[in-house]
Amino acid sequence: MRSHISAHAVCTAIRDDIVSGLLAPGSRLIEDILAARYGVSRVPVREALRTLQSEGFVTSRHHAGACVAELTEQEAADLLDMRALMEPLGAARAAARRTTAHLKVLRGLVRLGRERARHGHPNDLRQLDGWFHETLAQAAGSPSLTALLTQLRRKIEWTYVIEPPTRVTDAWDEHGAVLDAVARGDAERARTLMAAHIERSLPVYRLRRHASDVSEAKRPVNTARARA
């Protein structure tokens, strides 16, 4: 019996498998196989594939149907250029629109990031960095901008291997400086500091080469990972 799982949860699961490389670029996305893989009917799979196509993770090929998209090197480079334009804008908007709750979360993340950086916990730092940027995007007070920034970060994670930075403590000091500008409501300083932070982080991005083999084993949807 198929479980009743929303198209949103299925979409999140398929997207996560694309980003992680489990579903490799160019792989065919056959509805029956995906339905069996995630333990759902074809209906939420079909809806999920339409959403992922609109986001650029999935493409439709003549005679092949839905496939995982394959970005050219130029398209991959464009992702970093877009980030360099959009994240500073998000930081500036956050300086004008952030709430007390946003500041509390951001301060907690910076405190933890600095602590983990001093004691050398690279796995924790990657997750904390993601949370910092996601929270800052939410603090921009624009659902459209937040959605674009979130989608852009997922595509960069999908396309690039992000090496551990050599200047971990410096990176978290830069986060702290952006946060200080946001807390003071200084939009232009927040924009400038975020732009400089992104420019300094570019050396850690290395174009990813995905394996071509894709397991067709059935895997239940982890609905806890699906964001509302």
In terms of domains, do 125 and 137 share one? yes
Q: Across the 228 residues of the chain, what is the mean pLDDT of every consecutive 10-residue run?
A: 72 94 93 94 94 93 88 94 97 98 98 89 83 96 94 93 80 96 98 96 83 42 42
Contact 45, 10 (CB under 8 A): yes
What number of other Cβ atoms are within 10 A of residue 137's Cβ?
A: 23
In terms of domains, do 64 and 133 share one? no
Cα–Cα distance for residue pair 105/116, rounded to 1 Å: 16
In terms of domains, do 77 and 59 share one? no
Q: What is the domain extent for residue 55?
A: 7-70
Q: What is the pLDDT of residue 86?
A: 97
In terms of domains, do 27 and 79 share one? no
- The predicted model scores a pTM of 0.80
In terms of domains, do 91 and 64 share one? no
Give the domain CATH number at 78.
1.20.120.530
Amino acid at position 60, single letter: S
Q: Which of 70, 91, 115 is the last residue in one of the domains?
A: 70
Cα–Cα distance for residue pair 127/136, rounded to 1 Å: 14
Q: What is the pLDDT of residue 164?
A: 73
In terms of domains, do 202 and 115 share one? yes
Q: What is the pLDDT of residue 3?
A: 52
Cα–Cα distance for residue pair 223/204, rounded to 1 Å: 31
In terms of domains, do 161 and 194 share one? yes
Q: What is the pLDDT of residue 219?
A: 47
Number of structural domains found in the chain: 2
Contact 77, 39 (CB under 8 A): no
